[in-house]
Structures are given as C-alpha cells and as structure tokens.
Amino acid sequence: MRLEFSHISKRFGDHQALRDVTLPVPEYQSLAIIGPSGGGKTTLLRILAGLETPESGSLSIDDQRLDFSEEFLLSHRRSIGTVFQAYNLFPHLTARENVVLPLTKVHGLSLIEAHETVAALFDRFQLSAHADKRPAELSGGQQQRVAIVRAIAIKPRFLVFDEPTSALDPEMTAEVLDFIAELRAEGRNLIIVTHNMGFAREVSDQCIFIADGSILEAGRSSDLLRNPQNPLLVNFLAKVLRY
Amino acid sequence: MRGKFLSFFVTQHHGTPVTTAARIVSWCLVALLASAVFSFAFSQLHYGWNWQAIWQYRQKFWQGWLMTVAISAAALLVSMVIGLLTALARRSAFLPLRYSAVLYIEVVRGTPLLVQILILFYVVANAFGLENRYLVGVLALSLFAGAYLAEMIRSGIESIRDSQLESARAIGLTRAQTYRYIIFPQVVRQLVPPLTGQFASIIKDSSLLSIIAVSEFTLNAQEVNAFTYSTLESYLPLAVGYLLLTLPVSLFSRILERRFRFAA
C-alpha cells in the first residue's frame, strides 16, 4: 500500500503534536513509525486510523484521499483493524464475545457465521482454550492476541498497531511480536508504532522517524535503521539500542 | 484464658474465618443486650396496653402496608427512568440541557423530601390541575430518588475507562451502539447493589407521603392511633411492617453485592 501525508498539522491545546507533515511513503507492505515519546508518532497513527482529525492538511491512502468528516471516518475505522497498547478488550465480555461483537453489530454477520469465523481464528492462533474467559482471566499477551484476532476477523484493508507490546512483560512481548510477524508473513499490510527497533527492522520494509512533530527521516527500514543520516535519529538509535 | 475468651469473638482481617459458633453466640449476645435495653425502657413506662383495640383495625394496617409496597414499587420504576434520562442529560454536550440536570440534581439533593412533597403537591400539582395525590406522591418520591440514581448512573458511566470507549470507536461502533453494548451492560452490573439500597430508602421515605394524606402505611397507623388512643400499639406494628420490607431488600442487596464483586 501507499500513503501520502500532505501538510498535516495537529495541536492539542498548547502542544503542537504535528507540524506541517508532508511525505509520500512509497509502496510498502509494512510500515514502522519510530521516534521518542511525545514526538507525534501516535498522533500520526491515530490520524491514519481515523481516530483523530488534523487541523489542516490531507492524507491519501492508496491514492484515495481521506475525507475527515465523521461519517466517512466511521466507515474508514470499520475498514481497518486497530490494536492499542493495552485494555483493548471489553472486560464484561469473554474473549469470544469480544471478537463476535464487531462482526455481528458492525459488519452484519449472522451470529452463526460470526461464531464460525471466531472459532476458526481462535483455533488457528491457539486461543481456543481461552475463548470463554474474560479479559481479567487472561495474561497480557493473551489479551493482546485476542485483540489482534478481533482486528483481523473483520478482514481489514490494513492493520494499525500502537505500541502493542509496551505494556507487556518481555516473554509476552515475544509472544505478541511473533504473532504480528506471522501476520506480515501472510502478506497483510501493517502500520506499527513501536519502541522495539529489532522488531521494526525485522518486520517493516518502510520506516518513518518522527520527533518533535516532524518527520525527520524516512526510507527503507534496512537503510534507515542501519545507516541513519539525521543526527537526531543517530542519537535516538544510539540511546534505545544501548541496552 | 481471658485473651482466649475474647479472641473467640474477634474476627481477624487475614486470619481464620469466623466460626459458626462464634457467629451464633455473638448474635445471641446482641439480641440479649437489645432486648434488655428495651425491656427496661418499656418496664419504666406505666402504660396500659390495649392490643384488642388495634386488632380490630388489622385490615387497615394491611391495606396501608400494601399501598406502601405499591407506591414504592411504582416510584422505583419511575425513578429509574428519571435517573437514566437525567444522567444522560447531565453528560449532554448541549449546555442548557446539562445545566438543567445539574440544577435538578442539586436542588433535590439539597432540600428535605418533606419540603419537596409539600411544594410539589400544594404549589406545582395545584397549578397544573393535578389532583390525584397518589400520582403526585409517586412523582415526588420518583423525582427525589431519581436525582440520587442519576448521580449513581453517571458515576457508573464515568467509571468506564476511556480506553474502552476508544476501542469501541476503533472497531466502528456508533455512539448509540457503544452505550448499548459496552457502557450499559457494565453500568447495570455495578448498579444493581446500590439500586436495591435505594429501594429500601424509597420504602422508608414513602412514609412522608402521609403529610399529603396518601393513605399509605404510616397514615393508616396514625389514623388507628387517633381512633383508639393506643399510640404504641399503633406505631410498633408500623416499625415491624417497614422492617419486614427493608430487611429482605437489604439482605438481597448484600447477596448481589457479593455476587457481582466476584464476577468483575
């Protein structure tokens, strides 16, 4: 898929989250967005996911310009799969019900179809044993895997991950990252905000480095992460890779 | 030995659970103490009991009691509707609506129910030609309880994490669907225990409707007293009659509270 950001700005009160972001992202399968905390990467992702509207500028996804009206954004959100850091699942529903809900209420599947879809997916991703547990009875890693299954169950155009492992223990991080790598191997389109550089390098083909509201460097992940040009990116990579 | 004797009655926060024996003995002790105090109080009273006079009016007590049950049940239903609508209005983006809800909640919670009943009946209902005092009575109780319920429902809605609303948005639920499938099921679960408590309050508060001559339990007891001059014989059954209603409700509420705590 392709993206094109054009003069996108977004502010929250006094904080300028994005400053006139302009960038064409060439054809990619998987895009990583990296950068320091508070630099604007999550805001950029949320605009892509239709959860936030910029004050100015435009965004094209596969040459289709995104219309920032709420009506259009609702259908946009329905066409993509979004996974947040944590607490994606609704606590009063079981794992199975969490995945069934959008299928029946948003995507018009019958209850039987939805349950069949969910059973097949849970079976494939080794979650069947946990299908009838509520989120509180699942580990953080299992919760994230269920959330990812919920995102792919709707057959999304692409998947959006906002630091999907930053709230997890190291073991669970591996469990979730393996899952995402598997989705990439299936050929799905992904956009990931991550702090994990090793993972970004392994799983993405394009990478954007964003700090202080501006995109400072973008390019093929293998080049950008191995051979950074921008001094801020050099500095950032040196810091996150030190330990 | 003495320490051991005392520790029989003491429950530890993290220790062994209370034994059935300790529970029974403690309850007996409390019952003994209470009856001692009241027997003494009543024995000091030089009072000629006249239960026969009251027995003649048993039908009147029974009818009053039934009326109290009916009024309380109706008020509970109406107050839930009022409470829900007010809670939603209180969260409305349209400021005049939101402030109306704030005004209503604050005025009702800041004034005595007795005053509200009087004003509602003698001023408001009168002005609008509403003459049925039972209707006004149910309305007064509902408006009173509705203000408290509104705040309970609101805090229930607000206890739902933003991250859940965000997830609901991300999977493409509309605002109405988010309320229907995400917020309300969780709020209802939280609300069941305080709601039963509220029901017990409504039952007791309904006694104030006697002031506008709604023929409920308290008014009937007052009338029996007026007919027989047997004050205590009229009011003791009154107390028992209310307890017969409120004790099961509060017991039920405690069971629900325990059940939902584990389900969370």
- Verify that A98 and A200 share a domain, yes or no: no
Structure tokens at B106: 């604050």
Out of A51, A84, A106, whose CB is closest to B173? A106
- Verify that A146 and A183 share a domain, yes or no: no
**Residue ending a domain, choose from A135, A155, A175:** A155
- Verify that A98 and A135 share a domain, yes or no: yes
For residue B17, the distance in angstroms to the closest alpha carbon of chain A comes to 26
Chain A nearest-CA residue for B163: A87
Q: What is the reported pLDDT for B71? A: 94
Q: Are A136 and B177 in contact (CB < 8 Å)?
A: no
Q: What is the reported pLDDT for B84? A: 92
Q: What is the reported pLDDT for B21? A: 84
For chain A, what is the domain count? 2
- Verify that A93 and A74 share a domain, yes or no: no
Helices and strands in chain B: count of H runs, count of E runs: 13, 0
- Verify that A126 and A198 share a domain, yes or no: no
The CA dihedral of A129, A132, A136, A142, to the nearest 10 degrees, is: 40
Q: Are B200 and B108 in contact (CB under 8 A)?
A: no
Spell out which residues of chain A touch residue B264, defining contact as CB-CB under 8 Å.
Answer: 91, 136
- Verify that A139 and A28 share a domain, yes or no: no
- Verify that A147 and A170 share a domain, yes or no: no
A23 CB-contact burial (10 Å; exposed 0-12 / middle 13-18 / buried 19+)? middle
Exposure class string for B108-145: b at 16+ Cβ within 10 A, else e: beeeebeebbeebbeeebeeeeeeebbebbbbbbbbbb
Q: Is B159 on the interface with A (CB under 8 A)?
A: no
Q: Are B174 and A74 in contact (CB < 8 Å)?
A: yes
Interface test with A, best of B171, B186, B187, B191 (most A CBs within 10 A): B171
- Verify that A197 and A144 share a domain, yes or no: no
B28 CB-contact burial (10 Å; exposed 0-12 / middle 13-18 / buried 19+)? exposed
- Verify that A131 and A146 share a domain, yes or no: yes
For residue A53, the distance in angstroms to the closest alpha carbon of chain B comes to 14
**Residue ending a domain, choose from A155, A188, A207:** A155
Which of A175, A171, A199, A191 has the alpha carbon at shortest distance from A125?
A175
CATH number for the domain harbouring residue A215: 3.40.50.300
Better-scored residue on pLDDT, B156 or A100: A100
Q: What is the reported pLDDT for A157? A: 93
A105 CB-contact burial (10 Å; exposed 0-12 / middle 13-18 / buried 19+)? middle
Q: Categorize the per-residue pLDDT at A166 as very low, low, confident or very high, splitting at 50, 70 and 90.
A: confident
Q: What is the reported pLDDT for B72? A: 94
Spell out which residues of chain B touch residue A53, defining contact as CB-CB under 8 Å.
Answer: none
Q: Is B177 on the interface with A (CB under 8 A)?
A: yes
Out of A51, A105, A136, whose CB is closest to B173? A105
- Verify that A166 and A229 share a domain, yes or no: yes
Residue A106 is part of which domain span? 89-155
Domain B56-263 of CATH type 1.10.3720.10? yes
Helix (H) or strand (E) holding A192: strand A190-193
Arithmetic mean of pLDDT over chain A:
91
Structure tokens at A155: 């057959």
ipTM greater than 0.90, yes or no? Answer: no
Q: Categorize the per-residue pLDDT at A8 as very low, low, confident or very high, splitting at 50, 70 and 90.
A: very high
Q: pLDDT (tens digit, 0 to 9) for every residue of chain B, 264 residues total? A: 556 667 777 776 655 667 788 888 889 999 999 999 988 988 888 888 888 888 888 898 899 999 999 999 999 999 999 999 999 999 999 999 999 999 999 999 999 999 999 999 999 988 898 888 899 999 999 999 999 999 999 988 888 888 899 999 999 999 999 999 999 888 888 888 888 888 899 999 999 999 988 888 998 888 988 888 888 888 988 999 999 999 998 888 888 777 776 554
- Verify that A117 and A55 share a domain, yes or no: no
Q: What is the reported pLDDT for B15? A: 57
For residue B9, the distance in angstroms to the closest alpha carbon of chain A comes to 36
Q: Is A114 on the interface with B (CB under 8 A)?
A: no
Q: What is the reported pLDDT for B196? A: 86
**Residue ending a domain, choose from A128, A155, A182:** A155
Which of A141, A124, A120 has the alpha carbon at shortest distance from A186?
A124
Q: Is B170 on the interface with A (CB under 8 A)?
A: yes
Domain boundaries, chain B: 2-44, 56-263
Q: Are B238 and B116 in contact (CB under 8 A)?
A: no
* pLDDT tens-place string over residues A196-226: 888 898 889 999 999 999 999 999 998 898 8
Q: Is B39 on the interface with A (CB under 8 A)?
A: no
- Verify that A72 and A174 share a domain, yes or no: yes
Q: What is the reported pLDDT for B261? A: 63
Spell out which residues of chain B touch residue A148, defining contact as CB-CB under 8 Å.
Answer: none
